[in-house]
Amino acid sequence: MEEWRGMPVVKAIAEDVTARMEVLAKKDIVPTLAVVRVGEREDDLSYERGLTKRFDSVGAKVVVKVLPVDVSEEELARVITECNEDKDIHGILLFRPLPKHINEKAVTELVSARKDVDCMTLTNFAHTFAQDGQGHEPCTAQAVMEMLKFYGYDLTGKKAVVIGRSMVVGKPLSMMLQKKNATVTMCHTKTVDVAEVCRDADIICAAAGVPKMVTSDYMSEGQVIIDVGINVVDGALCGDVDYEAAKEKAAYATPVPGGVGTVTTSVLLLHTVKSAEEV
Amino acid sequence: MEEWRGMPVVKAIAEDVTARMEVLAKKDIVPTLAVVRVGEREDDLSYERGLTKRFDSVGAKVVVKVLPVDVSEEELARVITECNEDKDIHGILLFRPLPKHINEKAVTELVSARKDVDCMTLTNFAHTFAQDGQGHEPCTAQAVMEMLKFYGYDLTGKKAVVIGRSMVVGKPLSMMLQKKNATVTMCHTKTVDVAEVCRDADIICAAAGVPKMVTSDYMSEGQVIIDVGINVVDGALCGDVDYEAAKEKAAYATPVPGGVGTVTTSVLLLHTVKSAEEV
C-alpha cells in the first residue's frame, strides 16, 4: 500500500497561496480570517492554534474575537456584523456549538456568505449542493478532494462510497465526488450491510466518527481508502479505518493522524485567500 | 406487477388539502398561487392549464401574470417583488427558462423563499440539501415521496438507485430518500454500468430524461420501479422505463402517463396551502 499523507498537499497549497498572496500584496491586501470564539473550549483552542500556525506560515492573518460564555445574542450578533463590514477581514470562522441561550442557526446566518469560508450558511450549503462553482465548500470535505487532486486520482466512472451523512462532511463530499463523475453511494447508520457496499467500491471515504469501523471485511484489493474520522481512543488519535488492515489490502490510504485532517486548515486558508481576491 | 398510479395519491392529497382549506377559510384565507409567465411557450401553457385545473378542483386560486417575451429585467423584477409583497399571494411559480436577455439566476433569487413553492431559490436548495424540515422541496421529487408514502413503502434499509443528477429531481430526490434511511446510489451519464447498479437495488428511480433506458437488463425480480421521465417519442408520451419489461419483473411500478407526473401539481398545491397556513 502507498500512504497518501497530508503534508505534501499542505505544501503544494502553501506554494499556490504564496504566489497568489504576492499579487494581493501589491494591492496592500493581506488575507485575514476572523475567528469568533465564545468561551475557552479546549477543542476550539486547539483548532485555533493549528490554523493560526498555518496562516502565520504564509504570512496570512488571523484575528481572534473572544467573547465570554455568557455573552448576549445581541453582542455576538454585533461582533459578526462588525466582521462582515470590516473590509480588512476576508473570512469569518464562528466556533460552534454556541452556548444554549443563543439561537445558533439565526446567529450563523448573520455571517455574510462571501466571508463564510467554512460553509456554515444556507447560501453556501446551496452552492455546495448545486456544485455550481460558487461560494465556499466545507473545509474538511474539500480537503478530501484536494488530496485526490494532488495524488492524481481520476474519479470519472469510479464507484465511491461515503460513510456518514453529516452536513459537514458526508453530504457535501458526496456532491463533490459526484461532480467529478464518480458514482456515489451514501451509507449511514441505517444501511443494512455497509461492509458489502464498501467491498464493491473503488474508493471508500469514511466519515462516520466510529473508531476503526472500516475493518478488513469492508475492503477489497486495490482500493483507495480515505479516512476522514478523528477519534480519541485511550488517549490516542485514530480514524474510522483499521489502518493495519488497509495496509494489507488497499492500494492507497490516508493515515490518521497525518492525513486529511492535516489539510483542513490549508483549505480554510485557500478560501480566505480566494475571498480576499474577490474583494 | 402491481401498478402504482398517481390518481389515488392526487385524491388523498385533495382530501387533506380540503380539510386544511376549511380551517383557512375561517380566517378568510384562500391559498393563492401566482404564476409568472414570460411569453406563450406551449410547455408553460400546458403546465399552467394542468395546475389551474388542479387548484380549481379544491377551490384554491391561481393568478397568472403574463409578460411579453421582450419584457425588461426591471419590469419582471417589479412583478416578482409585487407578488412577494402581496399578502393575498402565498406561492410564486416563475416559468423558466427565461429569455436570454434576462439574468435568470438573479431574477429567480428575487422570489421570497417562503413563497418559492417549487424550490427555485438558494435558500430552498439549502433546506432540501440539509433535509431540516424547513422550506419547500422541488415538486416532482416530492411527488415521488408522496407516491411512496401513499403506497406504504418503507425505505429504511433499502437500496435505492437514482438515475440522473439534476437539481430539479435527481439530487433532491437522493437527499429525500436518504432522509428516509434508504442507502442511495446516484447514477448519471458517467456511471460505467448503470444496469449492474440498478439490478442490485430494491428501488429504482429513473429521472434521466432518456426514453425507455431502463430495460429488462436493469431490473431484477421484485423491485419497485419509479419512473420520473416524461419523454415524447413519435408523438406519444413515454417514461424512462420500458414499462412492458417492468410488468414482467417488478413488484411495483409507476406508469407514464398516469404516474408521478400526475402528482406534481398536487404537491404544488400542498406547498401553496402550507405557505398560506404560515402567514
Contact between chains at A183 and B187 (C-beta distance less than 8 A): yes
Q: How many domains does chain A have?
A: 2
Maximum separation of any 2 CA atoms in chain A, in Å: 57
* pLDDT recorded at residue B243: 97
Instruction: Name chain A contacts of B174, Cβ cutoff 8 Å.
Output: 186
Q: Within this chain, do residues A158 and A104 fall inside the same structural domain, yes or no?
A: no
| Phi-psi domain of B80 (left: phi exceeds 0; alpha: psi -120 through 50; beta: other) | alpha
CB of B215 less than 8 A from some CB of A: no
Distance between CA atoms of A24 and A141, rounded to whole angstroms?
27
What value, to the nearest 5°, has the Cα angle with vertex A196 and ends A218 and B241? 145
Q: Identify whether B18 is part of a domain.
A: no
CB of B127 less than 8 A from some CB of A: yes
Distance between CA atoms of B214 and B205, rounded to whole angstroms?
10
Task: Take residue B203 and report the three cell numbers written for it.
Answer: 428501488
Using CA coordinates, name the residue in chain B closest to A122: B126
Average pLDDT for chain B: 98
CB of A191 less than 8 A from some CB of B: yes
Q: Identify whether A119 is part of a domain.
A: no
Q: Within this chain, do residues A105 and A177 fall inside the same structural domain, yes or no?
A: no
Confidence at B246, pLDDT banded by 50, 70, 90: very high
Distance between CA atoms of A8 and A240, rounded to whole angstroms?
22
CB of A193 less than 8 A from some CB of B: no
Task: Take residue A28 and report the three cell numbers written for it.
Answer: 496592500
CB-neighbour burial class of residue A68 (10 A; exposed 0-12, middle 13-18, buried 19+): exposed
Distance between CA atoms of B92 and B17, rounded to whole angstroms?
18
Instruction: Name chain A contacts of B187, Cβ cutoff 8 Å.
Output: 183
CB of A195 less than 8 A from some CB of B: no
Collapsed DSSP state (helix, strand, coil) of residue B228: coil
Q: Which of B125, B156, B158 to mutate to test binding with chain A, by most A CBs within 10 Å of its CB?
A: B125
CB of B191 less than 8 A from some CB of A: yes
Contact between chains at A190 and B157 (C-beta distance less than 8 A): yes
Residues 6+ apart with CB under 8 A from B180: B145, B148, B155, B156
Backbone angles phi, psi at B231, to 5 degrees: -120, 155
Q: Give one DSSP letter per residue of B83-144, joined into a string.
A: HHH-TT--EEEE-SSPPTTS-HHHHHHHS-GGG-TT--SHHHHHHHHHT-S-S---HHHHHH
Task: Take residue A245 and report the three cell numbers written for it.
Answer: 488492515
Query: Which value, in Å, is the radius of gyration of the alpha carbons in chain B?
Result: 19
* pLDDT recorded at residue A165: 98
Which residue is associated with the grid cell 385545473? B53
Burial B65-78 (b: 16+ CB within 10 A, else e): bebeeebeeeebbe
Distance between CA atoms of B90 and B55, rounded to whole angstroms?
13
CB of A175 less than 8 A from some CB of B: yes
Which of the 8 DSSP states describes residue A99? P
Strand partners, A94: A36
Instruction: Name chain A contacts of B130, Cβ cutoff 8 Å.
Output: 125, 167
Q: Which residues of chain A have pLDDT under 50?
A: none
pLDDT at B279 over 90: no
CA distance A249 to chain B (A): 24
Which of the 8 DSSP states describes residue B19? H
Q: Identify whether A1 is part of a domain.
A: no
A178: nearest CB among B125, B186, B197: B186
Which among B211, B187, B190 has a CA at the least distance from the CA of B203?
B187
* pLDDT recorded at residue B40: 97
Q: Within this chain, do residues B62 and B150 fall inside the same structural domain, yes or no?
A: no
Contact between chains at B197 and A183 (C-beta distance less than 8 A): yes
CATH code at B58?
Answer: 3.40.50.10860
Q: Within this chain, do residues B191 and B239 fall inside the same structural domain, yes or no?
A: yes
Which residue is associated with the grid cell 417514461? B239
Q: Within this chain, do residues A107 and A144 fall inside the same structural domain, yes or no?
A: no
Residues 6+ apart with CB under 8 A from A216: A242, A245, A248, A249
Q: Within this chain, do residues B80 and B151 fall inside the same structural domain, yes or no?
A: no
**Helices A139-150 and A170-179: angle between axes, nearest 10 degrees:** 40
Residues B109-159: tens digit of each pLDDT:
999 999 999 999 999 999 999 999 999 999 999 999 999 999 999 999 999
Q: Is the sign of the CA dihedral B112, B130, B125, B276 positive or negative?
A: negative
Task: Take residue B81 and report the three cell numbers written for it.
Answer: 417583488
Q: Within this chain, do residues A144 and A257 fall inside the same structural domain, yes or no?
A: yes
**Helices B170-179 and B139-150: angle between axes, nearest 10 degrees:** 40
Q: Within this chain, do residues B256 and B145 fall inside the same structural domain, yes or no?
A: yes
Q: Within this chain, do residues A33 and A108 fall inside the same structural domain, yes or no?
A: yes
Q: Within this chain, do residues A149 and A243 fall inside the same structural domain, yes or no?
A: yes
Between positions 103 and 122 of A, the ones with CB within 8 A of B are 122
Strand partners, A176: none
Query: Which value, in Å, is the radius of gyration of the alpha carbons in chain A?
Result: 19
Q: Within this chain, do residues B95 and B55 fall inside the same structural domain, yes or no?
A: yes
Which among B278, B268, B275 has a CA at the least distance from the CA of B57?
B268
CA distance A100 to chain B (A): 19
CB of A127 less than 8 A from some CB of B: yes
CA distance A140 to chain B (A): 17
Q: Within this chain, do residues B45 and B157 fall inside the same structural domain, yes or no?
A: no
Total length of chain A:
279
Please compute the mean of the pLDDT values over residues B34-45 and round it to a whole number: 97
CB of A262 less than 8 A from some CB of B: no
Q: Which of A104, A108, A122 to mutate to test binding with chain B, by most B CBs within 10 Å of its CB?
A: A122
Residues A149-191: tens digit of each pLDDT:
999 999 999 999 999 999 999 999 999 999 999 999 999 999 9
Q: Identify whether A126 is part of a domain.
A: no
CATH code at A182?
Answer: 3.40.50.720
Total length of chain B:
279
CB-neighbour burial class of residue A23 (10 A; exposed 0-12, middle 13-18, buried 19+): exposed
Its domain, for residue A241, covers 139-261
B130: nearest CB among A125, A175, A186: A125
